[in-house]
Each structure stands twice: as C-alpha cells, then as structure tokens.
Structure 1
Amino acid sequence: MRRREAEQDRDVAALLAAGALVEIRSLAGSPGRAAQEESPEEVLGRIRALADLGHNLPGVARPPRSGPVRRGVPLDRFDRAMDERPMSWAWNTAGPEGRAWMLARIEQEGRTWTPPPPLPEPRVDPSPMKPWQWVGLLLGRWPVRTPFGRRPLPADANVLKVLDTGTICALHDEVRRLRLGLGGAAPWLRAHLAPDGVHYLLPDPADYYWPGNADGRGGRIGWWQCTALLRMRDGAQVSAMVAVLPETFAALPSTLRRREQVRLAHRVRSVERDAVLWGRDHEAACAPQVCGFVPEENGSASTTP
C-alpha cells in the first residue's frame, strides 16, 4: 500500500510540474490577454506562486535517494515520512490556494489521489540512539563516516569544538564575506542566540557536500560542512549547518576530552529541530523591540541559517 502511494505521489508530482510550466508559459506568453482580467501585478503574482509551488516537483517525480545522506545517521521521522509519501513536503507547505490548485489539476486530468497526512513535528529532544550507536559510543568511535569511494577527512576534522555566540556569528560572517554559500545569517543569529550560550560544532559533510565534490562554480568544494548545535535565546537547542574553511576550524580551540567529544557529537547529530524551524515558530513574536533584529532592506543577508 505504501509503495503504491509513493508511486502515485511521483506520478502526481510529474503531472503538477508539467501543469505549472504550461500555465506559467501561458501567462508569460500572453500578458495582454491575461491583463484583461487581472492587473500585471496579479499576473506576476500568479507566475511567482506557480513557480514556488512547482520548483521542487521534478525532484519529487524522481525516485527518492535510498538511505540517509550521511553514513551513520539513521533516517529520522521526517525522512521516513518523505520516503513513504514523497509529496508530503509539497502538499503540506503549499497553503490553501496551492492545495486547491493541485486538486483542481489532478481532477482535470481524471486522476484520483489521496493527499498525504501532516508531516511529523520535529522532536524537541535528541532522537534516541540506536543500539549500534551506543556500541560506537562505548568504543569511542567517531560518528562521522566517510562515504563509499571518497577520501576520509583529515584527523583534525574529527573533533568537536565548544564555541561562544560571538565565535558562531564570526563563522557566519566569514561565510558571507567569502560567499561560501552555506550559512551567513550572522545578524539574525546575533539577535536570536543566547548571548552567553554554549554551542557545539563539528565537521559533518553530507555526501553531496563532501570535500572534493564539484562546487557548482567550476571548482571543487574546499570547505567543510559543519553541524552546529545552537542554544537559542529561549533556551532551546537546535541544529544548523555552516560552511567552515579547514584552517578556520583548526584555529578554533578544543577544550573537551575525547570521550566527551564523542558523546556530544552523537547528540549534535541527533537533533531534528533546526534553526529554520525555530525561526518559523518565533516569527510571529519577532520584532526589533523584542529581539533587536532588523532585516536588511536589500535582502542580501540570510534571515535564518
């Protein structure tokens, strides 16, 4: 049953992606005709909404990647839900108008489809460790595993660093300055991290960010994708990703004993709730007079990690 639903989701994703492109082409190709019923701003709004709705659908239509993107990290509840129903994210984030458009398109094609259930809420506490993770912890094994066929990270990457809020923000400043592309939300973090918070950081690249992979700019990835466990202003601990140059990471002090590093590394990698989700939950209460955060007018900086 679940396999059939997953296949139906992929078929529906392909249908909706094609439908969105056809509708966008129609709106863009006949602006005068569309403007007879709607203003140019409304037409552009419809095009933008269709693009937002459809840009992930081609990826949904392809069979999902099997297994986690990091060796040694089990699939969490979100990943399992997406494996079972690949349309879960697209459906649950579409909003009422987007969902109505999806259902109308599907009905127009004479299809029947059952929408996926709501996505599971991310765990606030770390996910329970699997038996094999406990064994690795007891044996003192570093949890970050090298993807098959790739060169392992150097020994100085297999370290967990304890950082203060100023250092975390400085790392994101460097991302923005060097345009590394992963992170860069230092202004947002300065306003929302606990001022005296203790944070943890370790190199933990996903397979597709493994050093040496193509960087999309004609070169190779020379930085390390690091996982951070951040303490927010309300006391919550959330995960985040940031690109860190090897020499920058090596210069950060290391103060913990090895066994404590291994224990905390497992904890850092097991937190489901990330800074983006925390930011969404906090958005309604976020204001300059509350947090001191003022988004940049030109939108050049990330507003969340």
Structure 2
Amino acid sequence: MHFEQPLPREVKVIDSASLFRLEERACDLRLNQRLDPTWVQANTAPEGTHYLWPALWNSLPHRPDVPRQLRCELLITLRAGDRVMSLLDVLPDDFTPLPRVTSREEGIQVSQLLDRAPSVREWLLREDEGSDRLCQASPVDERASQGEECLVDVVADLPADPQPRNCGR
C-alpha cells in the first residue's frame, strides 16, 4: 500500500446522480462511512450540487480485498434547500475522475458551509418526526437487518454521545 501517498487537495463537485452512484458503491463494498442510497435518492435535491472534501485515508485491515479509501466530508443539498454534512468513503478510482471545484472562492464557500451544516443525524432530529418515522426514513443501510451497524442512532431520546446500533428490522 502507498502509505506515503498524500491526500488529494481538491474539492469535488457532484450532481445527485453521481452522489447516488457513490453511495451505492460504498454500500455494495460495505465501506464504513455511507448513507442508505434509498434515503439519498428520496432526500437530496434532484438538481442539487453536492461536494466531497477529502479528510483522511481509510483502510479496512480486516478486509484486505478492499482497497484503501478516501474518507470525505460530504456536503449534501436537500430537496427543501437545506444543506447537511455526512461522511462518505470513496475509492480513489471513483474520486479522481469527478469534476473539481474550479475557483478558490467556491472552495472557501464549501469549507464555510461544511463548518456550519448540521450532520444528517442532527437534521433528522430537528425534523422532529417521531422515532418510528425516523427509523423508516433514516439514512440507515438496509444491510442493518443482516446484523451490520447502522450509521445513525434513531431513538427518540438520544444520549449526548450516541453509539451506532443494530436497527433490528
């Protein structure tokens, strides 16, 4: 592995179809940071612009068949115009060809939006739709029914520092 490989220093700009494909790929590979593609498709603005900002390299030592990934901060534009932040693990071969932000000003704006945007979990809690609705509409990977961890804790009264849990669907 190329442990000395520097982190890409570019912000990528993607449309909703590309975001959906990246989330599907992360689910197919069972990468650690991902949202349920069904939630992404249902909640992102169809003509929205989304951004990926590489944060660190991630690897899965217990799964040597899976290449190292870029763990990216993801800024998502929702249907109502809200913006939320999540994390997404992306393979370098999928990241490299994506279009990049072309101006310094846009990059600075994305950085500021990422600093202010609530996480998907925080946004869901603010929606105050009740725990049953949250569990059905949350960005939890469908594989949770197979015993894998959920990406968000979807209980009504969350502790200050919630841990991922099995949704047990």
TM-score interval w.r.t. the shorter chain?
0.5 to 0.7
Query: Which residue of structure 2 lines up, in the alignment, with residue 168 of structure 1?
Result: 19
Name the CA shift for 1:186/1:218 in 2 (closer, same or farther; >3 Å).
Answer: closer
Name the CA shift for 1:259/1:188 in 2 (closer, same or farther; >3 Å).
Answer: same
Name the CA shift for 1:218/1:231 in 2 (closer, same or farther; >3 Å).
Answer: closer
Shift of 1:224: 0.3
Query: Which residue of structure 2 lines up, in the alignment, with residue 266 of structure 1?
Result: 111
* Equivalent position amino acid for 1:151 in 2: E
Q: Distance in 2 between matches of 1:283 and 1:194?
A: 20
Higher strand share: 2
* Equivalent position amino acid for 1:243 in 2: D
For this pair of structures, how many residues does the alignment match? 142
Q: Percent sequence identity over matched residues? A: 23
After TM superposition, list the pairs within 5 Å mapping 1:21-40 onto structure 2.
Answer: none
After TM superposition, list the pairs within 5 Å mapping 1:156-305 onto structure 2.
Answer: 157-205=8-56, 210-211=57-58, 215-217=60-62, 219=64, 222-254=68-100, 256-282=101-127, 284=129, 299=145
RMSD: 3.3
Q: Is this contact kept in 2: 1:161–1:200, CA < 8 A?
A: yes
Higher helix share: 1
- Higher RCO, 1 vs 2 (CA within 8 Å, ≥6 residues apart): 2
Structure 2 spans left out of the alignment, 5+ residues: 154-169
SS in 2 for 1:270: helix
* Equivalent position amino acid for 1:260 in 2: E
Query: Which residue of structure 2 lines up, in the alignment, with residue 151 of structure 1?
Result: 4
1:51-97 deviations in Å (ceiling 9; x for gaps):
xxxxxxxxxxxxxxxxxxxxxxxxxxxxxxxxxxxxxxxxxxxxxxx
TM-score, L = length of structure 2:
0.68
Q: Distance in 1 between matches of 2:12 and 2:143?
A: 34
Q: Is this contact kept in 2: 1:159–1:261, CA < 8 A?
A: no
Runs ≥4 residues deviating over 4 A: 218-221, 295-298, 300-305
* Equivalent position amino acid for 2:4 in 1: R
Larger Rg: 1
Q: Distance in 1 between matches of 2:88 and 2:109?
A: 18
Q: Distance in 2 between matches of 1:192 and 1:266?
A: 22
Name the CA shift for 1:218/1:198 in 2 (closer, same or farther; >3 Å).
Answer: closer
SS in 1 for 2:42: helix
Q: Is this contact kept in 2: 1:201–1:229, CA < 8 A?
A: yes
TM-score, L = length of structure 1:
0.40
1:216-275 deviations in Å (ceiling 9; x for gaps):
516497100001111122221111100000110012123x32413431342244135111
Q: Is this contact kept in 2: 1:279–1:304, CA < 8 A?
A: no
Name the CA shift for 1:272/1:278 in 2 (closer, same or farther; >3 Å).
Answer: same
Structure 1 spans left out of the alignment, 5+ residues: 1-149
Name the CA shift for 1:298/1:152 in 2 (closer, same or farther; >3 Å).
Answer: closer
